[in-house]
Amino acid sequence: MSSGTEHEASPDTLDEPDDVWEVDIEKQIGHDEYDPVGTLSLITVYFLIIAFLWVFMYFVEFLGRGPTVV
Amino acid sequence: MGVFAHEYPNEAGIVRAALASSFVALLLGGVMGLIQALHRTGYVQVIDDSTYYTVLTLHGVSLAILFSIFFLVGFFQWAVTDSLDRPSEDIRFTKLWYALMVLGSIMAAVPILGGFIDQTEISADVLFTFYAPLEAHPLFYAGLAVFIIGTWLAGIDWFRSWWAWKQKNRGEKTPLRTFMVLTTMLMWYLASAGVAIAVIFFLLPWQLGLVGGVNPLLTRTLFWFFGHPVVYFWLMPVYMMWYVILPKLAGGRLFSDPLARIVFVLFLVLSVPTGIHHQYVDPGISEGFKFLAMTNTMFLLLPSLLTAFTVVASIEHGARQRGGSGYFRWLTDLPWNRPAFTGMALAALMFAAAGFSGMVNAGMNFNYLVHNTLWIVGHFHLTVGTAVALSFMASTYWFLPKITGHKVFSKRLGLVQVVVWFIGMVFMSNAMHRIGLAGEPRRTADPFYDGVTFETSLGTISELHAQIALGSVLLVVSLLLFAAHILLSWFNFADKDAPTPDTIPPALSGPEHAPAVLENFRLWTAIAIGLILLTYTLPIAAIVSGNGWFGPVTTFIGDTSSFLTGLFHAVFGVIP
Ligand code: HEM
Ligand SMILES: [Cu+2]
C-alpha cells in the first residue's frame, strides 16, 4: 500500500501533512518493548475519582435525605 | 490502495448520502435542543408550552434515531467495503435499504411536524419513547418500522459481502472492522426485534383500530428491551473509531486486536438483557426481575472497562512512538492540533465522566434519587450527546476526504468546532446533573411550581439554569460551525487536493492471536438469545397475565390472547 510523502505547501499549515505516521514517529515500539505505565496511571486516577464520588453520592446525597416516596 | 471515493464510487455515493441525511437530522435536532433549553430555563420562549412535546419529540427522534443511525450505516458501509476490499454484492440492494431508511424517516417526520400546525389533527407528540397511552398518528409508527427494516436489510447486505469474501479467503480471520460491524448488527437484530414487535403487533394495530387497547406496561417493556441496547448500536461504531482510527491518529497502533474482538462479542452477548434497568420505578414488575437487570448491567461494565484500557494504551503507544515519556507527560506528545484526534479524545473523556453518572443510574437504590430528573438528561448528553455525537463529528474530519476525494476545508476551524462543543457540554451537562439532584423533573416545559423550591447544594438553581442556557448556545454555535464546515468541504470551496491515501497500521498483538471460537457468530448469538429468554420470559409472562396482551379491553384478538395467556399460566404456574 502506497503512502505518498510529497506534500505541496498549503496556506493552512495545519493541513499538512495529513498523517502523523508519516512525519512524527521517532521510533517504532513493538509489542514487547511497550509498557503502558501511563495508561495504568490514568486509570488509577480515574478509579480514585469514581470511588470518591460514589462514596459522596451514597453517604451525602442518598443517605442524607429522607425516604423517597415513589 | 487508493482513495476510497475513486476505488468504490458507488459505495462512496451511498456513504455520502447517509452522512448527508445524518447531518440534516443533526442540525434540525440541535436547533430544537436550543429551543427547549432556553424555554425550560425561562430565557427565551418562542413556542407555547403546549408545543413543547412536539419540539422534544423532534429533538429526540432526529438525534437519537436519525442522526446517529444514518451516520453509522454510512460509516459501516465504508468499514465493510474498505476492510474486505470488495464492492457491494449488488449496489441496487444497497440503494434499496438506504431508500427505505429515508422513506421511513419522512413517514415518521410528517406527523411529528404536523404537531406544529394547528389546522391539522395529525400529530405525534409522543417523544422518542412513544409510551402508550400517548398516541401518535399511525404514519409515525409505520415510518419507524420501515426505517428499522431498512437497517435490517443493510445488515443483510454486509453479511452477504462477508460471505462472498469468506468463499475466497477460507481459513482467514475476518478483518477487524468487518468483524465489528457484523457483531454490532447481530446485536441490533436481537435488540430491534423488541421495538418492532411493540410497533407492528401492538401500537400500530391499536392506532389503526384493529384492537381495542394496549397493555402500556408491555409495550413499554418491549421498548426498553430495545431502548438499552440501542445505546450500544450508537456506541459500537464509536468504539470502532476509538479502536481503529484514534490510535492511528495518535501515531500508535491498536494495543490488541483479539481484545477488541472479545469486547464486541461481549456486547453482543450482554447488551440486551438489561433493559429493565430503565424501569426500576415501574409498578407491575417485581423487584427480583429488576435486581436481575441490575446484575446484568454491572456485567456490562466489563467490556467498557476493557475498552478504556485498550484505547488509552493504544493512544499512549502513539505518544511514546512520538517521543513521549513519563507517567503523565506523554499526554503532551499527542497531536492535539488535529480536530479528529482532539474531538474523539474529548468525547472519550466525556464518556469517562458519564461512567460515573451511569453507575448512579444503574443502582436500584441510587436510581430513586435521580429517576426522571434532569440528571438523566445530563447523563445521556455525555453519552449519546457527546461520546457518540462528538466522535461522529470529529471522525468526519478524517473520514470525509475518503468519501469525497478531497481534503476538508480547514483543520483549524474543525479544532475550534470540537472544542466549543466540549465546553458547551461541560456547562450544560454539569448543570443538568446538579439540577436533577435537586429534584427538577425532565420532560417539562415549565419546571417552576408554586410553593416548590429546588434545593441545590452549591450555587442557586437560577445560576444552574443560566449554565444550561449558556451551554446550549455554545453547542448550537458549534453545530453551525460544523454545518458550515461540512458544506465548504463537501463542495470543495477551497479547492483542496485529493487526500494522500493512508492505511491503518496493524495491531501490536494481531488477529493471529485471536482464538478461532471468536469467529463463531452462531454460538454467540445463541448465547445472547439464551440470556434474553432467561431474563425476559418471566417478566413478560407476568405482565401479560396481569393485564392481557392488549390491556383489559375485550376484543376478538384480546380473547384469543387470553387463551395464550392461559398457556403461559400453565407453563409458569408459579406466577400469580
Ligand atoms: C445542540 C445541542 C443540544 C441541546 C441544546 C440539547 C438540549 C436538550 C434538552 C434541554 C433536553 C431536555 C428537555 C426536557 O427533558 O425537557 C434534551 C433532551 C434530549 N436530547 Fe438533547 N440537546 C442537544 C444535543 C443532543 C444530541 C447531540 C443528542 C443525541 C445524539 C440529544 C439527545 C437527546 C434526547 C434523546 C433527549 C430526550 C428527549 C426526551 O426526553 O424524549 N441531544 N436535549
Ligand atoms: Cu440502559
Sequence-ordered list of residues with C-beta below 8 angstroms from that of B339, at least 6 positions apart, any chain: B394, B397, B411, B414, B415, B417, B418
**pLDDT number for residue B29:** 97
Is residue A11 very low, low, confident or very high in pLDDT (cuts 50, 70, 90)? very low
Of A66-70, B290-294, B315-319, B513-517, the range with the lowest mean pLDDT is A66-70
pLDDT of B533 strictly over 50:
yes
List pLDDT tens digits, range A36-55.
899 999 999 999 999 999 88
In this structure, which amino acid lies at residue B99? A
**pLDDT number for residue B481:** 98
List pLDDT tens digits, range B11-39.
999 999 999 999 999 999 999 999 999 99
**pLDDT number for residue B397:** 95
As a whole number of angstroms, the distance between CA B409 and CA B495 comes to 8
As a whole number of angstroms, the distance between CA A43 and CA B348 comes to 13
Q: Is B442 a catalytic residue?
A: yes
Chain B residues 474-533 within an 8 A CB cutoff of chain A: 496-497, 499-503, 505, 508-509
Per the CB < 8 Å rule, is A38 touching B368? no
Give helix then strand counts, H and E, for chain B.
22, 0
| B308 lies within 8 A of chain A by CB | yes
Provide the Cα torsion B92, B96, B102, B108; round to 10°. 170
Which residue from B225, B103, B215 is spatially nearest to B537, judged by alpha carbons? B225
Per-chain mean pLDDT for chain B: 92
> How many structural domains are present in chain A?
1
Angle between helices B216-227 and B176-197 (to 10 degrees): 170
List pLDDT tens digits, range B129-183.
999 999 999 999 999 999 999 999 999 999 999 999 999 999 899 999 999 999 9
Written as one string, the DSSP assignment of A9-54 is --SSGGGS-S-HHHHT-SS---TTT---HHHHHHHHHHHHHHHHHH
List pLDDT tens digits, range B467-512.
999 999 999 999 999 999 999 999 988 888 878 777 888 899 889 8
Asked if residue A67 is part of any domain, the answer here is no
pLDDT > 90: percent of chain B: 77
List pLDDT tens digits, range B426-443.
999 999 999 999 989 999
Residue ranges per structural domain of chain B: 4-572
**pLDDT number for residue B429:** 97
As a whole number of angstroms, the distance between CA B260 and CA B184 comes to 13
Answer yes or no: is the C-beta of B472 below 6 A from any ligand 1 atom: yes
**pLDDT number for residue B559:** 59
List pLDDT tens digits, range B38-88.
999 999 999 999 999 999 999 999 999 999 999 999 999 999 999 999 999
B125 in Cβ contact with B134 (< 8 Å): yes
As a whole number of angstroms, the distance between CA B100 and CA B108 comes to 12
| B309 lies within 8 A of chain A by CB | yes
B549 — phi, psi (to 5°)?
-70, -35
Asked if residue A47 is part of any domain, the answer here is yes
Contacts of A54 in chain B (CB under 8 A): 356, 359
Of B120-124, B185-189, B387-391, the range with the lowest mean pLDDT is B120-124
pLDDT of A6 strictly over 50:
no
As a whole number of angstroms, the distance between CA B536 and CA B242 comes to 32
Which residue from B238, B243, B240 is spatially nearest to B254, judged by alpha carbons? B243
Asked if residue A68 is part of any domain, the answer here is no
Query: Rounded mean pLDDT of B398-410?
Result: 91
Can you give the length of chain B in residues?
Answer: 576
Is residue B563 very low, low, confident or very high in pLDDT (cuts 50, 70, 90)? low
CA of B58 to the centre of ligand 1 (A): 10
As a whole number of angstroms, the distance between CA B41 and CA B39 comes to 5
**Check: CATH 1.20.210.10 for B4-572?**
yes
Asked if residue A70 is part of any domain, the answer here is no
**Which residue range forms the structural domain that includes residue A11?**
6-62
Per the CB < 8 Å rule, is A62 touching B365? yes
Q: Which ligand is nearest to the CA of B230?
A: 2
Contacts of B437 in chain A (CB under 8 A): 61
Q: Which ligand is nearest to the CA of B231?
A: 2
**pLDDT number for residue B493:** 85
pLDDT of B574 strictly over 60:
no
pLDDT of A7 strictly over 60:
no
Single pTM value for the model:
0.92
As a whole number of angstroms, the distance between CA B44 and CA B31 comes to 13
The atom number, within ligand 1, closest to the CA of B52 reads 16
Q: How far is B56 from chain A (nearest CA, A)?
A: 25
**Residue of higher predicted confidence among A68 and B374:** B374
Query: Rounded mean pLDDT of B340-348?
Result: 97
Answer yes or no: is the C-beta of B36 below 6 A from any ligand 1 atom: yes
Q: Which cell numbers hold the place of B97?
A: 435499504
**CA distances for B258 relative to A15, B243, B301, B306, B467, angstroms:** 34, 12, 18, 12, 43
Asked if residue A11 is part of any domain, the answer here is yes
As a whole number of angstroms, the distance between CA A58 and CA B366 comes to 8
**pLDDT number for residue B284:** 86
Chain A residues 10-49 within an 8 A CB cutoff of chain B: 12, 14-15, 17-22, 24-31, 34, 36-39, 41-43, 46, 49
Per the CB < 8 Å rule, is B248 touching A31? no
| B86 lies within 8 A of chain A by CB | no
Closest Cα to atom 33, ligand 1: which residue? B60
Written as one string, the DSSP assignment of B475-541 is HHHHHHHHHHHHHHHHTTTT---PPPP--PPPPSB-GGGS-GGGG-HHHHHHHHHHHHHHHHHHHHH
The atom number, within ligand 1, closest to the CA of B441 reads 15
Query: Rounded mean pLDDT of B550-568?
Result: 62
Angle at B284 between CA B279 and CA B288, to 5 degrees: 70
Residue B256 burial by Cβ neighbours in a 10 Å radius (0-12, 13-18, 19+): buried
Per-chain mean pLDDT for chain A: 71
Q: Which cell numbers hold the place of B189?
A: 437484530
Q: Which of B177, B379, B434, B485 is catalytic?
A: B379
Sequence-ordered list of residues with C-beta below 8 angstroms from that of B272, at least 6 positions apart, any chain: B187, B190, B191, B194, B225, B228, B229, B528, B531, B532
**pLDDT number for residue B244:** 94
Answer yes or no: is the C-beta of B128 below 6 A from any ligand 1 atom: yes
Residue B345 burial by Cβ neighbours in a 10 Å radius (0-12, 13-18, 19+): buried
Answer yes or no: is the C-beta of B436 below 6 A from any ligand 1 atom: no
pLDDT of A12 strictly over 60:
no
Is residue A9 very low, low, confident or very high in pLDDT (cuts 50, 70, 90)? very low
**CA distances for B537 relative to B93, B225, B290, B560, B575, angstroms:** 36, 12, 13, 20, 12
Asked if residue A1 is part of any domain, the answer here is no
Per the CB < 8 Å rule, is B331 touching A38? yes
Is residue B210 very low, low, confident or very high in pLDDT (cuts 50, 70, 90)? confident
Q: Which cell numbers hold the place of B315?
A: 493512544
Q: How far is A55 from chain B (nearest CA, A)?
A: 11
As a whole number of angstroms, the distance between CA B389 and CA B350 comes to 11
**pLDDT number for residue A33:** 81
Per the CB < 8 Å rule, is A20 touching B366? no
As a whole number of angstroms, the distance between CA B232 and CA B187 comes to 9
Is residue B213 very low, low, confident or very high in pLDDT (cuts 50, 70, 90)? confident
CA of B366 to the centre of ligand 2 (A): 15
